Amino acid sequence: MTLNRVDITYISPCLADPDKIRLKADLGSNIGDIFPFVNAEIERANYNPGLPSLSLQKEFRTITLYEEKMTMIKAENSTDAMQVIEWLKDIINDIYARKDEIEPDHTASDPPRPLEIFKLLPKTNCSKCGELTCLAFAVQLLEYEQDLENCPKLKEKDYADARETLKAMLPQ
Protein backbone atom coordinates (compact mmCIF):
# COMPACT_ATOMS: atom_id res chain seq x y z
CA MET A 1 0.00 0.00 0.00
CA THR A 2 1.52 3.34 -1.00
CA LEU A 3 1.29 6.52 1.03
CA ASN A 4 -0.78 9.02 -0.91
CA ARG A 5 -2.85 10.74 1.74
CA VAL A 6 -1.83 12.39 4.99
CA ASP A 7 -4.56 14.36 6.79
CA ILE A 8 -3.32 16.58 9.63
CA THR A 9 -5.75 16.26 12.54
CA TYR A 10 -4.01 18.23 15.28
CA ILE A 11 -1.42 21.02 15.48
CA SER A 12 -0.11 22.78 18.59
CA PRO A 13 3.10 24.44 19.82
CA CYS A 14 5.90 22.09 20.88
CA LEU A 15 6.22 21.75 24.64
CA ALA A 16 10.00 22.05 24.61
CA ASP A 17 10.13 24.83 22.02
CA PRO A 18 6.93 26.87 21.62
CA ASP A 19 8.33 28.47 18.44
CA LYS A 20 8.02 25.08 16.75
CA ILE A 21 4.94 22.94 16.22
CA ARG A 22 3.91 19.33 16.79
CA LEU A 23 1.20 17.55 14.91
CA LYS A 24 -0.74 14.36 14.45
CA ALA A 25 -2.06 13.07 11.14
CA ASP A 26 -4.14 10.22 9.81
CA LEU A 27 -2.72 8.20 6.94
CA GLY A 28 -5.18 7.20 4.27
CA SER A 29 -4.04 3.57 4.44
CA ASN A 30 -2.33 0.98 6.62
CA ILE A 31 1.40 1.20 5.83
CA GLY A 32 2.67 -1.17 8.53
CA ASP A 33 3.87 -3.72 5.97
CA ILE A 34 6.52 -1.30 4.66
CA PHE A 35 8.21 -0.68 8.04
CA PRO A 36 10.74 -3.59 7.78
CA PHE A 37 11.74 -2.35 4.31
CA VAL A 38 12.19 1.23 5.55
CA ASN A 39 14.14 -0.18 8.50
CA ALA A 40 16.44 -1.89 6.00
CA GLU A 41 16.92 1.21 3.85
CA ILE A 42 17.10 4.14 6.27
CA GLU A 43 20.18 4.06 8.46
CA ARG A 44 18.83 5.94 11.48
CA ALA A 45 15.30 4.58 11.46
CA ASN A 46 14.11 3.36 14.85
CA TYR A 47 11.88 0.30 14.36
CA ASN A 48 9.69 -1.11 17.09
CA PRO A 49 8.03 -4.28 15.72
CA GLY A 50 5.97 -4.72 18.90
CA LEU A 51 3.60 -1.84 18.19
CA PRO A 52 4.56 -1.60 15.27
CA SER A 53 6.05 1.87 14.85
CA LEU A 54 8.97 3.46 13.06
CA SER A 55 10.66 6.76 13.90
CA LEU A 56 12.71 8.85 11.48
CA GLN A 57 14.68 12.05 11.85
CA LYS A 58 14.55 14.86 9.29
CA GLU A 59 17.26 17.15 10.69
CA PHE A 60 15.82 18.38 14.02
CA ARG A 61 12.32 17.06 13.36
CA THR A 62 11.18 13.66 14.65
CA ILE A 63 8.54 11.74 12.73
CA THR A 64 6.93 8.64 14.21
CA LEU A 65 4.88 6.42 11.95
CA TYR A 66 2.25 3.99 13.17
CA GLU A 67 0.22 1.72 10.92
CA GLU A 68 -2.47 4.30 10.15
CA LYS A 69 -1.28 7.52 11.75
CA MET A 70 1.82 9.62 12.34
CA THR A 71 3.15 12.30 14.64
CA MET A 72 5.79 14.96 14.01
CA ILE A 73 7.51 17.11 16.59
CA LYS A 74 9.65 20.25 16.16
CA ALA A 75 8.43 21.27 12.70
CA GLU A 76 9.12 24.97 12.02
CA ASN A 77 5.50 25.74 11.06
CA SER A 78 2.66 24.22 9.04
CA THR A 79 4.39 24.97 5.70
CA ASP A 80 7.53 23.24 6.91
CA ALA A 81 5.43 20.31 8.17
CA MET A 82 3.75 19.93 4.77
CA GLN A 83 7.16 19.91 3.05
CA VAL A 84 8.39 17.22 5.44
CA ILE A 85 5.23 15.19 4.77
CA GLU A 86 5.89 15.40 1.01
CA TRP A 87 9.51 14.29 1.65
CA LEU A 88 8.19 11.38 3.70
CA LYS A 89 5.69 10.35 1.02
CA ASP A 90 8.47 10.31 -1.58
CA ILE A 91 10.67 8.10 0.62
CA ILE A 92 7.89 5.64 1.50
CA ASN A 93 6.60 5.40 -2.05
CA ASP A 94 10.10 4.99 -3.48
CA ILE A 95 10.70 2.09 -1.07
CA TYR A 96 7.34 0.57 -2.04
CA ALA A 97 8.33 0.77 -5.69
CA ARG A 98 11.65 -1.03 -4.98
CA LYS A 99 10.22 -3.42 -2.38
CA ASP A 100 10.99 -6.58 -4.37
CA GLU A 101 14.69 -5.68 -4.47
CA ILE A 102 15.01 -4.95 -0.74
CA GLU A 103 15.72 -7.54 1.96
CA PRO A 104 13.35 -6.55 4.80
CA ASP A 105 14.90 -6.00 8.23
CA HIS A 106 12.55 -7.22 10.97
CA THR A 107 14.97 -6.61 13.82
CA ALA A 108 14.07 -4.08 16.48
CA SER A 109 16.39 -1.08 16.75
CA ASP A 110 18.72 -0.84 19.72
CA PRO A 111 16.92 0.36 22.82
CA PRO A 112 17.21 4.10 23.47
CA ARG A 113 19.57 5.47 26.14
CA PRO A 114 18.12 6.72 29.45
CA LEU A 115 18.85 10.35 28.56
CA GLU A 116 16.83 10.06 25.34
CA ILE A 117 13.88 8.83 27.42
CA PHE A 118 14.47 11.43 30.13
CA LYS A 119 14.27 14.29 27.61
CA LEU A 120 10.63 13.38 26.94
CA LEU A 121 9.61 13.05 30.60
CA PRO A 122 8.02 15.95 32.52
CA LYS A 123 11.25 16.53 34.53
CA THR A 124 9.42 17.63 37.70
CA ASN A 125 11.08 14.99 39.91
CA CYS A 126 7.76 14.79 41.76
CA SER A 127 8.32 11.11 42.75
CA LYS A 128 4.67 10.19 42.12
CA CYS A 129 5.89 7.24 40.03
CA GLY A 130 7.72 5.88 43.05
CA GLU A 131 11.16 6.92 41.79
CA LEU A 132 13.15 9.79 43.28
CA THR A 133 13.73 11.48 39.92
CA CYS A 134 12.51 11.41 36.32
CA LEU A 135 15.96 10.15 35.29
CA ALA A 136 15.61 7.18 37.66
CA PHE A 137 12.17 6.53 36.12
CA ALA A 138 13.76 6.57 32.63
CA VAL A 139 16.37 4.02 33.70
CA GLN A 140 13.71 1.78 35.26
CA LEU A 141 11.54 1.98 32.13
CA LEU A 142 14.43 0.57 30.12
CA GLU A 143 14.95 -2.17 32.73
CA TYR A 144 11.26 -3.16 32.46
CA GLU A 145 10.89 -2.25 36.16
CA GLN A 146 8.55 0.67 35.52
CA ASP A 147 5.60 1.44 33.30
CA LEU A 148 4.64 4.70 31.59
CA GLU A 149 1.24 4.37 33.29
CA ASN A 150 2.91 5.11 36.63
CA CYS A 151 3.72 8.72 35.70
CA PRO A 152 0.47 10.68 36.23
CA LYS A 153 1.88 13.76 34.51
CA LEU A 154 2.28 11.83 31.24
CA LYS A 155 -1.49 11.26 31.23
CA GLU A 156 -2.12 15.00 30.97
CA LYS A 157 -3.16 16.41 27.59
CA ASP A 158 0.00 18.48 27.19
CA TYR A 159 2.12 15.34 27.38
CA ALA A 160 0.05 13.25 24.97
CA ASP A 161 2.62 13.53 22.17
CA ALA A 162 5.56 12.81 24.47
CA ARG A 163 3.70 9.75 25.72
CA GLU A 164 3.08 8.50 22.17
CA THR A 165 6.73 9.02 21.26
CA LEU A 166 7.88 7.21 24.41
CA LYS A 167 5.57 4.29 23.62
CA ALA A 168 7.10 4.06 20.16
CA MET A 169 10.68 4.26 21.49
CA LEU A 170 10.44 1.80 24.35
CA PRO A 171 11.05 -1.91 23.69
CA GLN A 172 7.84 -3.95 23.84
Residues that bind ligand SF4 (CB under 6 A): 121-122, 124-129, 131, 134, 137, 151, 153
Residue 35 or residue 137: which is nearer to ligand SF4 going by CB? Answer: 137
| Nearest alpha-carbon partner for 58 in 95, 84, 90 | 84
Name the minimum Å distance from CB 151 to ligand SF4: 3
Name the minimum Å distance from CB 26 to ligand SF4: 29
| Nearest alpha-carbon partner for 37 in 106, 89, 131 | 106
Residue 45 near residue 38, CB atoms below 8 Å: yes
Residue 112 or residue 122: which is nearer to ligand SF4 going by CB? Answer: 122
Name the minimum Å distance from CB 147 to ligand SF4: 11
Residue 54 near residue 39, CB atoms below 8 Å: yes
Residue 63 or residue 138: which is nearer to ligand SF4 going by CB? Answer: 138
Residue 3 or residue 166: which is nearer to ligand SF4 going by CB? Answer: 166
CA gap 107, 96 in Å, rounded: 19
User: For the chain, how many residues are written?
Assistant: 172
Name the minimum Å distance from CB 23 to ligand SF4: 24
Q: Name 8's Cβ contacts closer than 8 Å, sequence gap at least 6.
A: 23, 24, 25, 78, 81
Residue 39 or residue 131: which is nearer to ligand SF4 going by CB? Answer: 131
Name the minimum Å distance from CB 37 to ligand SF4: 35
Number of Cβ within a 10 Å radius of residue 48: 22
